[in-house]
């Protein structure tokens, strides 16, 4: 079976907030450069060098969350790392609107319960995701 990749659904307000954060990180050094005449050119350059890379962080979070369904595993990848879950260990998948921190960019979420643990995700195409997991579980049960 091929590996299927599902991307996180993105709520408009979460995506907007992350883009706004990136813009603020980009604009602050420019504002500092133009309007703060008390600082030296060297300190302004240093501020830009230190702050501009932080503008990439929210964009990286927006683009890096994905859920891969392989033949035997669900791999949840986010900017901060990846979690590998054996499909045979998954005992339940239920809809949730839990606001806990999770590799999910939407509040339209699924809680995946496995091996006395759980993880909250938000695949954009939930039905196709659920069908892929169920199909893999049936293959493993044979």
pLDDT by residue for the chain (142 residues), tens only, comes to 799 999 999 999 999 999 999 999 889 888 888 887 787 888 888 888 888 888 888 889 889 999 999 999 999 999 879 999 999 999 999 999 999 889 999 999 999 999 999 999 999 999 999 999 999 999 988 7
Contacts of 46 (CB under 8 A, 6+ apart): none
Q: Rounded to an integer, what distance in angstroms lies between the CA atom of residue 3 and that of residue 8?
A: 16
Q: Rounded to an integer, what distance in angstroms lies between the CA atom of residue 123 and that of residue 19?
A: 20
Nearest to 58 by CA among 14, 106, 8, 27: 14
pTM to 2 decimal places: 0.84
pLDDT at 47: 83
Q: How far is CA 32 from CA 18, 40, 49, 109, in A?
A: 22, 11, 13, 40
């Amino acid at each position: 079976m091929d590996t299927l990749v599902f991307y996180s659904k993105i709520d408009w307000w979460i995506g907007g907030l992350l883009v706004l954060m990136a813009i603020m990180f980009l604009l602050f050094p420019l504002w500092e450069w133009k309007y703060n005449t008390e600082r030296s050119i060297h300190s302004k350059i240093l501020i830009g060098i230190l702050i501009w890379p932080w503008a990439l962080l929210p964009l990286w979070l927006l683009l890096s969350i994905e859920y891969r369904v392989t033949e035997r595993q669900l791999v949840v990848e986010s900017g901060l790392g990846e979690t590998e879950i054996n499909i045979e260990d998954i005992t339940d998948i239920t809809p949730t609107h839990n606001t806990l921190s999770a590799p999910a960019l939407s509040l339209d979420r699924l809680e995946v319960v496995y091996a006395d643990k759980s993880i909250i995700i938000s695949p954009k195409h939930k039905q196709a995701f659920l069908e892929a997991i169920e199909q893999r579980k049936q293959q493993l049960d044979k």
